Structure 1
């Protein structure tokens, strides 16, 4: 293979390198929403690879690593169910602005795809609105159908408003007073005709603490002032008393959040039932088609369904971690396929590693 031909792998890497956008800014969110799919990468045989120069082979293997680490979002049972629940709640988003909308709470253990569900749904919604109404509002503002707000540990009411203003790129985000921040946030949401606000990592808020209760009350206030649907994402939010607003005992029954918000649970895959086993195998089959190895073949993953489940406990985050690393090892060791021995060799995330060793 000529050097000119071989250089295409380096060119592919330049054009398809891992995305570096920041979803917490309108520029980063817009880049995510409008990102084009990667150019398909050619599968070379072992013989083809022997004809590559050392640098060409290095570029091709790096290109394969990028490809293998970025599979498409699979339409799993969990994702379909979550979309159905969000669609039902979004039906109230068609209400006039003077009427309250509902909220969705994607609540589950770690590594089950909560953020992926929220961001993919929000991306699809964003694209649909822009297609129908265009990139500008009638007043000439940039139309931003979705705002994405990831929280951090110790987030306060002021901190959350500041993050929201930073998403819109408002110049007063760092110098406005606490009272001004809330009013400016409402103005940004209204001017840009935002209809969905995704608040991720909500589990960082301690709803039993005074600051957490302030954030909870502020969220209810924003829901009253903003004609938007909130999509909350977090780990074990029910256990953290999000729905009860930190209240205890009989007082929890009066929590408004519990009436306004709809919980959407995301469960891990199970193989103890026939439908569960089928869903797990279907996921593996879909991922299997994406993997780019010289000796990849049908059944490469599905034949090891039980082993992969034992090693990941059915958590899609742990599964993708394992497959990224298995593909890397398959290339690095010239195995060029995924075998049971290779799966056992992979060191994955701590939780999956610990639970697999005790099962």
Structure 2
């Protein structure tokens, strides 16, 4: 028992794991949903003992750090497209299954969105077919790996083996055989490969990258879901007539490009989506001084300018703002507090231009008044 605070030591609800390892991925897939902390008034907070307040605030901090995934229209649309591709891939093992490429700018939450789909697909398959395969192995319908710079074929195969907890010794072919055995025995139907742009290197390496991805598609009888930044701009999915371009075109024929766009407020539909997002986030915040419209009304323009409509930038800003609001006792988000919160470099760089457009009346995040009641 801690005599200083009068509470027993506790770990809190932090969940430290790597989804690129089987044990960690199973924690993400099967972990219980977090329970939103109790919403207390300022008076109730002031009446708590120091120890109880410490525990309560710790729970609020980890809660705000893990809001989401939020079912935005962009996320719902992406999940529908992924389901259409992955869950229609019921071809026999002698046929190559078409792949999906989620290609979007950084900071839009594409990795989180794809993992959320993978989690749902994993659960669906286990509910439908059971936790074990007919041969008695554990069923692992979906796996997740992330690449690093200059990854080669051997590195790709090693990453898959590492996920399953298999040895990573041997050449590329040995590792591939090992990985395929695991895929088949554990009934894996989809492999999520994040940061696939690390395979691309320079424009001169397009054919090498296409070769690597074609190799994966031929060797592994699964649906490959690639996630990356600027992959299409490198020409991987373009048609062509030269020997090199023919290879790229073949990969393009087998791959469906998807994206996750940022929020935009140039039209009413976009402004209503932005407002709905802020209202959804607002409901999830556990701050004693929170009031209706704190985000969706008072901070709508401000948060758009600070985040540039990028989901990850927005959530980082709100998470840090909530932490500051709790630790300072301010217990609400407003411009004065948020101005002291730092955000990522890309968002801050684009902030001035958006703020100028909003300040001059050239841009607004607010839906028309007549439509606001139904937003």
- Common fold, TM-score beyond 0.5? yes
Counterpart of 1:276?
Answer: 270
| Aligned counterpart for 1:17 among listed residues 13, 25, 30 | 13
**Are 2:333 and 1:323 aligned?**
no
Offset of 1:324 from its aligned partner? 0.7
Instruction: Compute the displacement of 1:283 (Å).
Output: 0.8
The answer for the alignment partner of 1:39 in structure 2 is: 35
* CA RMSD after TM alignment: 2.3
Give the superposition deviation at 1:298.
1.6
The alignment status of 1:96 with 2:82, answered yes or no, reads: no
Q: Which stretch shows the higher mean deviation, 288-297 or 83-92?
A: 83-92
The CA deviation at 1:282 is 0.7
| Equivalent residue in structure 1 for 2:283, among 267, 272, 289 | 289
Report the equivalent of 2:306. Answer: 311
| C-alpha distance in structure 2 between counterparts of 1:130 and 1:92, whole Å | 18
Provide Cα deviations, 1:289-310, integer angstroms capped at 9, x if missing partner: 1101001122111012111111
Alignment check: 8 A CA contact 1:21 1:31 kept: yes
Gaps of 5+ in 2: 355-375
C-alpha separation in 2, matches of 1:250 and 1:178: 25
Conservation of the 8 A alpha-carbon contact between 2:200 and 2:231: no
Q: Alignment partner of 1:130: what SS?
A: helix
Q: Secondary structure of the equivalent of 2:301?
A: helix
1:6-56 Cα shifts (integer Å, max 9, x gaps)? 859x75xx3x52211111111111111000012331112111111223333
Tell me what 1:346 maps to: 341
Distance of 1:339 and 1:265 partners within structure 2 = 32
Q: Could you tell me how far apart the structure 1 residues matched to 2:28 and 2:87 are?
A: 25
Q: Deviations over 1:88-140 (max 9, x none)?
A: 21243122222221111110110011101110000000001111111211111
CA distance in 2, matches of 1:91, 1:333: 49
Secondary structure of residue in 1 paired with 2:88 = helix
Partner of 1:53: 49
Give TM-score, length-normalised by structure 2: 0.87
* Residues in 2 aligned to 1:244 and 1:181: alpha-carbon distance in whole angstroms: 31
Where 1:138 maps in the other structure, the secondary structure is: coil
Q: How many residues align?
A: 349
Which consecutive unaligned segments of at least 5 residues does structure 1 have?
none
Helix, strand or coil for the counterpart of 1:297?
coil
TM-score, normalising length from structure 1?
0.90
- Counterpart Cα distance in 1 of 2:185 and 2:213: 19
